Amino acid sequence: MKSRIFLSLLLVVVLLAFAVRTEQPTAVPASDSIRISDLRRHVMSLTSDDFNGRLSGTEGNQLAVEFVRSHFARLGLEPVNGDSFLSSFDLIVPTLGPDNDNYISVIIDGTPLAPPQLGSDFYPERFSGSSVISAQELLFIGFGIFAPDLDHDDYDNVDVTGKIVVILNHEPGEFDSESPFDGAVPSEHSRPIRKAMEAKRRGAVAVLFVNDLHNHNAQVMSRARMDRTWPSDPRLTPRYELGVWVDATELPVLNISTDLASRLLKTSRANLRALAEQAETKNFKPESVELDISISAKINRERLSQDNVIAAIKGSDPQLQEEWIILGAHLDHEGANGVRIYRGADDNASGVAGLLEIAEAYALAAHEGSRPRRSVMFAAWNSEERGLLGSWSYTEQPLAPLSNTIALLNMDMIGRNEEIPSRGGSRFRGLPTQTAVSNKNAVNILGYSFSLDLQRAVEIANDVDLTLRFRYDHSSSNLLRRSDQWPFLSKGVPALFVHTGLHPDYHTYRDQPEKLNYEKMARIVKMVHQLSWNLSQQNLRPKFDRH
């Protein structure tokens, strides 16, 4: 009898827990204010000639910023950054200083090494700091990754203070789908600037990157790589670095050839290939070499200030109002090439239009006395097309603690039907061939594998009869890392990417406003609105699951 009572009580607890996790939604207030005509009007404005493609660093981009800011202000939303709707961040355009200010000088066992040549033996990274340093010890540190959540530490309690570290490019198990990192696609741990910031944090005075020759062609010459890093002809669109990352590095960071690395490490107990292979194993130990080495790097930096546009509706619940749901969409696009304007109707005037309509619905509901329990933030990210730089800057310097951010919902390209041509080129690599007709009612939801709670939540919010497709989280197309949800996912914040898919007009001048399906787009926006409201009202936070 006691065991039956226990089992009955256990069943009740399980059912209650499930019920809480799948709390039934209440009707979202002011949803009827989301109208097809308003979505079309916003898209037509953002894609007009005046905005000239909304490229970062241009007048058209600033007009897009003002367009969103003025809408937020008129709606009576609250600023999050003090009394401003703008949240500024710096982009940096680096240029390489004079050749004689970039050098490496080495003495091994009293014998000077033949002077390494800029371009063929080494070149500075674009995020390198400018300084001259000297050291008496070189330390090969494998891949230079510290990832305690994956039980991986290449530093292994080794003190690198005052030393120059040699670090392999990429990551262990790069081609292993079962890798503890991200399998077939590079993880954030492999990003060079993150490795450099970790070395700086631990006290290293310089970083030398070298190709992981056991995984990649050992004969790749630095000259070709340097020309790609520091092109002699200026690019039509500047290549930016994120200021907050560059400012956190501030030490010389150079790429060196495998030949130079072998010469520098030749007095160690193993050659470079053997050291690189050992770096793949759990038994790897850093390798030290004593020598006299001086390194100089000279990088000139031009700074450009850009703005995210951020507003909020403060939550009504005293216990939950310090927790946040963020709704986001990027406002920038690719600009213009002569008389041809890349209007970016789907990418991403569609998402910004959806963001403005949801913000209006929340503002109208608040005016009528219906506020969400949790606070809701509306973020128009900038410089997404330049490398997710606006959303990365936010996650590095958030306006609300990421630990109190329970979900990020990102709308990027929500106005078309996915269409993948059979020979579409690198833009579509990794995606199966499919027709627009086959996706006429479909929307892709990415980020689902990072939070099963969010996956269930979006299914519950879909009362508009959309076909939800959960399929691209681990695609070799790398779609999951190609929009503004990725910085949040990489920081452990549950996030979803709402996306109707790529198509042949993606990143071309043919991405025009008349090609959007505004009826389908309105249903997607209403679903995201309902989802955000449900998350703001429920008692429990969605859990972040290791993907």
Kindly write down the DSSP assignment for every residue of 56-94, as one continuous string. TTSHHHHHHHHHHHHHHHHTTPEESBTTBSEEEEEEEEE
User: What local confidence, expressed as pLDDT, does residue 236 receive?
Assistant: 77
What are the angstrom distances between the C-alpha of 538 and each of 19, 373, 522? 11, 8, 24
Q: Which pair of structure tokens corresponds to residue 19?
A: 């019920």
CA dihedral 9, 14, 20, 26 (to 10 degrees): -90
Q: Which of 197, 202, 208, 170 is nearest to 186 (CA)?
A: 170
User: What local confidence, expressed as pLDDT, does residue 258 receive?
Assistant: 93
What are the angstrom distances between the C-alpha of 254 and each of 119, 124, 270, 305, 486? 11, 4, 23, 27, 27
User: What local confidence, expressed as pLDDT, does residue 112 receive?
Assistant: 95
Percent of the chain whose predicted confidence (pLDDT) is above 90:
84
User: What local confidence, expressed as pLDDT, does residue 276 receive?
Assistant: 94
Task: Scan for tokens 């680096």, then name that residue.
Answer: 94
Cis before residue 271, ω within 30 degrees of 0? no
Tens digit of pLDDT for each residue in 293-302?
A: 999 999 999 9
Contacts of residue 503, defined as CB under 8 A and 6 or more positions apart, other chains included, come to 346, 416, 417, 418, 419, 420, 436
C-alpha span between 394 and 332 (Å, rounded) = 16
Cβ count near 299 (within 10 Å): 24
The structure's pTM equals 0.94
Tens digits of pLDDT across the chain (547 residues): 444 544 444 444 444 444 445 466 678 999 999 999 999 999 999 999 999 999 999 999 999 999 999 999 999 999 999 999 999 999 999 999 999 999 999 999 999 999 999 999 999 999 999 999 999 999 999 999 999 989 999 998 899 999 999 999 999 998 888 888 887 788 999 999 999 999 999 999 999 999 999 888 755 666 788 889 999 887 778 899 999 999 999 999 999 999 999 999 987 778 899 999 999 998 899 999 999 999 999 999 999 999 999 999 999 999 999 999 999 999 999 999 988 999 999 999 999 999 999 999 999 999 999 999 999 999 999 999 999 999 999 999 999 999 999 999 999 999 999 999 998 889 999 999 999 999 999 999 999 999 999 999 999 999 999 999 999 999 989 999 999 999 999 999 999 999 999 999 999 999 999 999 999 999 999 999 999 999 999 999 999 997 5
- Domains recognised in the chain with CATH numbers: 23-92+303-537 (3.40.630.10), 98-297 (3.50.30.30)
C-alpha span between 209 and 125 (Å, rounded) = 9
User: What local confidence, expressed as pLDDT, does residue 12 receive?
Assistant: 43
User: What local confidence, expressed as pLDDT, does residue 23 receive?
Assistant: 61
Q: Which pair of structure tokens corresponds to residue 50?
A: 């005046």
Contacts of residue 229, defined as CB under 8 A and 6 or more positions apart, other chains included, come to 123, 125, 126, 255
Q: Which amino acid is at 221?
A: M
